[in-house]
Amino acid sequence: MTRYKLTIAYDGTKFHGFQRQPDMRTVQGVIEKALSKMTKGTHVEVYGSGRTDAGVHAFGQVIHFDYPGQMPAISMLKAINSLMPLDVIVKDSEIVDENFHARFGVKRKTYQYRVDCGYYTDPFKRFYTGHYQYPVDVDKIKLALQDLEGEHDFTSFAASGGVIENKVRTIYSATVKYVASENELIFEFTGNGFLYNMVRILVATLLEIGNGRRDVHDFLRLFEVKDRQEARGTAPASGLYLKEVFYE
């Protein structure tokens, strides 16, 4: 058995998330189906660095699997890509030590979130951005992002469907930039881990701060109250991208 580490990108629009589900089209399911063809029917279990929900995209999702037999990493990349649908691509392939684990070896991740600021929903962006039609003060958002950095209890920013009890996470970097040519806000968050829907809830809160509906330093209050109902909103899945996963 040979362990392969692959970096993949996908358009999540037509997927019911990354994780395999019965009778649902998922990223894990598509890749395992391709591997089954390559092994002539032998099931190969694929492990991801984490789950992404339905409609969420990825530039740099990382997976690993143990393949019966061995081929050069570049041959594995070409073989799988020849069997991929148009909304998935393998960007990189390498043979790794048997101790490597795509999920348990993760040290930090970077997520990107794109917001279309046009008044009307752009039909060509609707699957790839969130949408916020109200005016925002980017300087207020930048101030608020400073309060996110560091170790905090993110209970107020965890969706009810999550099962992880420890809600303490460390955010190493949180940024936003406005791209005038696209009329978009682009957020990026790098941390040691993220709770279920956490980035989407953070973005919804930041947009309300930028619009003046919340105090600039409302994150400090939300960390203390530990109440999901106080954060309220969740930005759409369509604007979220898993950008990069980091290991030792």
> What is the separation of C-alpha 23 from the centre of its chain, rounded to a whole number of angstroms?
23
Neighbouring residues of 74: CB distance < 8 A, sequence distance ≥ 6: 93
71: Cβ contacts below 8 Å, ≥ 6 apart? 2, 79
Catalytic residue list contains 97? no
Among the listed residues 96, 111, 99, 106, the one whose alpha carbon sits nearest the alpha carbon of residue 12? 111
Give the C-alpha separation, 162 to 164, whole Å.
6
- Which of 23, 53, 139, 153 is catalytic? The answer is 53
Closest to 26 measured CA to CA, from 39, 38, 8, 42: 8
Strands (E), 30-183: 47-48, 57-67, 88-95, 108-116, 130-131, 150-153, 168-179
β partners of residue 108? 246
Active site residues: 53
